[in-house]
Structure 1
Amino acid sequence: MTVKHQLKIKNEKDIIVVRKLGREVATDLGFNHIDQARITTAISELARNVVKYAGKGTISIEIIHKYVPGLQVVVRDDGPGIVNIKKAMEDGYTTSNSLGAGLPGVKRLMDEFLIDSQVDNGTQIRVVKWLKN
């Protein structure tokens, strides 16, 4: 069973839509309420970064299978990219006067986190949460 949704992100309304969809897919897959909240928070943070830093992008939400089912989220944009990924992954680092909990927080919430960013060429972030029995 492969379920994949791909949506465009360009404004705050889209963030609400992708959050809702992520929660619905997580619920349907059988994630508990805590993991549903983790997934929803991660999706929200990633989508908000797209709107804030790149202006627009896409998000795909997909059920995947390894040894157990999981929910994979891939966010892509063609924005300015991240100059220093190592620095961006430090707690408290921010370029926009926010709390700086975004990417490090997403990494802590999910089981897998992979980031690829090229200056002037955009960013792709892939996160996965595995269903625990």
Structure 2
Amino acid sequence: MTLRSSGTQPIHIEQDVVLARQTARKLATECGMRLIDLTKMVTAVSELARNTMVYGGGGDMDWEIHDREDDHKVGLRLTFRDEGPGIADIKLAMTDGWTSGSGMGLGLTGAKRLVDEFELETEPGKGTRITITRWT
């Protein structure tokens, strides 16, 4: 796998959530994603960026575009990271249909279903890191 480009988008206020979605849309387009895949990625970004702001107290969305040599695919990898309280009950947070009452109601499981790869790292008191990837 070869890294083509990368960057960071801060997520601290409501406008940053909008900018994160716009950045993801632009990057997905650059990767050559079909409209349906682009829409899924942007929807996942909307949920995860909002979670980063609301529950994590703000953080960053790191982005990377990768070329995968073995099958000639291009991937958009986004990592949402914060230094908030972390997720106390991962099992509950990853339960279908569970929502804290705000956001789009997709929850983490909804975001997970919209992407090809989903990784969650969290520790109470030390923040959360969620990485998603979609391949073209």
TM-score by length of 2: 0.90
Count, aligned residues = 131
CA RMSD of aligned residues (A): 1.5
Look up the match of 1:70: 75
For residues 34-53 of structure 1, give each alpha carbon's deviation from its aligned partner in whole angstroms, at most 9, with x where no partner exists.
Answer: 11101111111110001110
1:128 & 1:43 partners in 2: Cα distance? 11
Name structure 1 gaps, 5 residues minimum. Answer: none
Q: Is the 8 A contact 2:21 2:42 kept in 1?
A: yes
TM-score by length of 1: 0.92
| Greater than 2 Å deviation, 4+ residue runs | 94-101
Q: Is the 8 A contact 2:47 2:103 kept in 1?
A: no
Q: Does 1:129 align with 2:134?
A: yes
Q: Does 1:87 align with 2:92?
A: yes
Correspondence 1:84-123 to 2 at 5 A: 84-96=89-101, 100-123=105-128
Identity of aligned residues (%): 40
1:107 & 1:36 partners in 2: Cα distance? 15
Name structure 2 gaps, 5 residues minimum. Answer: none
Q: CA deviation at 1:99?
A: 6.6
Q: Is the 8 A contact 2:9 2:61 kept in 1?
A: yes
Q: Is the 8 A contact 2:25 2:42 kept in 1?
A: yes
1:120 & 1:11 partners in 2: Cα distance? 21
Given the superposition, is the C-alpha separation of residues 119 and 93 from structure 1 closer, same or farther in structure 2, using an over 3 Å criterion?
Answer: same
